[in-house]
Amino acid sequence: MLTSFRSNLETRKYSKALQGYLEPFQLSLEKLQEVSHRLRRDMTRGLGKHSHHNAPVKMLPTFVRATPDGTEKGDFLALDLGGTHFRVLHVRVVEEEQKVLKMDSQICTIPTDMMLGPGQQLFDHIAACLGDFISSRNLKGQTLPLGFTFSFPCEQKEIDKSILIRWTKGFKCSGVEGEDVVKLLKEAIQRRGDYEIGTVAMVNDTVGTMMSCGYRDQSCEIGMIIGTGTNACYMEEMKNVKRVEGEDGRMCINTEWGGFGDDGSLKDIQTTFDVMVDEASVNPGVHIFEKMISGMYLGEIVRLLLVKLTEDKFLFSGQASETLLMPGSFETNVIYPFISAEHSLENVEHILTKLGLKWDEVDARVVRVCCDTISSRSARLCAAALAAITNRIRNNRKLGHLKTTVGVDGTVYKKHPNFGEELQATVRLLAPACHITFMVSEDGSGKGAAMVTAVAQRLARQSRLLEDSEGEDEEEEEEDENN
């Protein structure tokens, strides 16, 4: 019940007026189906030999040609760079136990000025942290293979060669865009000269998520991230990957679906607040879809809506605080207590008071509705994108029904109280012929990077074994002819 100082008539008028602000965020199932079809069209463009140049959804080949089969083993280093922190890990893959064990890890901070400074400074910092980890864990002297998770749009040329297309997530380091990030890392390590690494496998975080789940569930052929940013990968038929030679088998494609809408195709569902978020970002016009659904932006969309409601005297008696008017002050993790049934009113009170606001129960309920509405749109748009992938896989394989597993990672999916449930319910409606199991990744960016490296080594060993056996067959044939 709303507080008694407002009559039922006032409440009805209030609710109707509020609905006018929320309606642009409430997408019908028909509109979501339309969005899903647009993404499928853009995916085809991104896979094309010539059309990919202008495609907003880049559909980048990863050169990962297989998912785990359970025979992988060994010790690996993993380096996970995707935000304001990065991690270094020592990972052990144990074949007998079908486990990927994290032996040890270390988190390193990237200062804000370093995110915007020279690229060499950033990679020297990464190399220094990697060296400290190797030294402190007594791994010096071992030349371990490295799985390198680099969660930015890259064009991968080989498993160990990856060109940064553009920075996202607040990074703007000079001298890196258009360069091979594996080469930049190796050069930084060489400048130090006090340790060595083995082969490097370049891994997008979505691929790492898929691979870490794939070791536990070998039907996992999709990886999805919904955290600070958002992205997905999946196993595509080689015959459709026009930019890479070969027709047989499959290859993991990093969709970079965050760029969906960069050509203006989502303007009909962008709200005024989405446009404001985009214009205020470090990369206006880039990664439009990501800015509508990911954790880096959801809180800011809510804040802008709350400011507008306050200006129009629907909230806080028309009095906004200095904190609420400050960009970035309403972070995405602030949304969760407003929505979760487990969080008490005291938590909500604490948040609103911390924002310097004078509020009442009606204000708290309106903020909750705003948080819920914007979160719901995020989950439903994500479902539309995932439905585009699952429907494509099913059509590729000419199946009446597809059964597959999606490996998922990211703070929004893991911490938002309703996000996963709404995403799953919506994707069932948009892809009714697909039975999808969702598996939360256990440290996908770290363990998954090690798995990609392990699978690459397994395939290389199998390739060498095949070459050896072919040579032996020829020798046997020669012996038979001589006899």
Q: What's the pTM?
A: 0.83
Determine which helix (DSSP H) or strand (DSSP E) holds 89, and give its type and residue range: strand 85-94
Identify the pLDDT of residue 13: 60
Identify the pLDDT of residue 456: 81
CATH of 74-217+443-458, one of 3.30.450.190, 3.30.420.40, 3.90.1150.60, 3.40.50.970: 3.30.420.40
What are 379-413's pLDDT values in tens digits?
Answer: 999 999 999 999 999 999 999 999 999 999 999 99
- Given a cut of 50, the residues of the chain with pLDDT beneath it are 1-9, 464-483
Identify the pLDDT of residue 237: 97
Q: Report, in this order, helix, strand and coil percent for the chain, each rounded to 5.
A: 50, 20, 35
Angstrom distance (rounded) from CA 86 to CA 105? 10
DSSP 381: H
Q: Which residues are catalytic?
A: 169, 205
List the chain domain ranges: 74-217+443-458
Q: What CA–CA distances, in Å, run from 32 to 10, 16, 54?
A: 34, 24, 24
Identify the pLDDT of residue 343: 58
Identify the pLDDT of residue 377: 98
Angstrom distance (rounded) from CA 294 to CA 277? 12
The alpha carbon dihedral of 67, 72, 73, 75 has a sign of negative
Residues 271 and 24: beta-carbon distance below 8 Å: yes
**Dihedral Cα 194, 173, 208, 292, nearest 10 deg:** 160
DSSP 402: E
List the structure tokens of 47: 């896979």
Identify the pLDDT of residue 231: 95
Residues 105 and 136: beta-carbon distance below 8 Å: no
Angstrom distance (rounded) from CA 296 to CA 298? 6
Angstrom distance (rounded) from CA 390 to CA 395? 9
Identify the pLDDT of residue 80: 87
Label residue 93 left, alpha or beta by phi (over 0 means left) and psi (-120 to 50 means alpha).
Answer: beta
Residues 203 and 148: beta-carbon distance below 8 Å: yes
What are 43-67's pLDDT values in tens digits?
Answer: 999 999 999 989 999 999 988 888 8
Centre a 10 Å sphere on the Cβ of residue 199 and count the other Cβ atoms it contains. Answer: 16
- What's the half-sphere exposure (Cβ side, CA atoms, 13 Å) at 209? 27
Angstrom distance (rounded) from CA 459 to CA 465? 10
Angstrom distance (rounded) from CA 34 to CA 208? 30
Identify the pLDDT of residue 10: 52
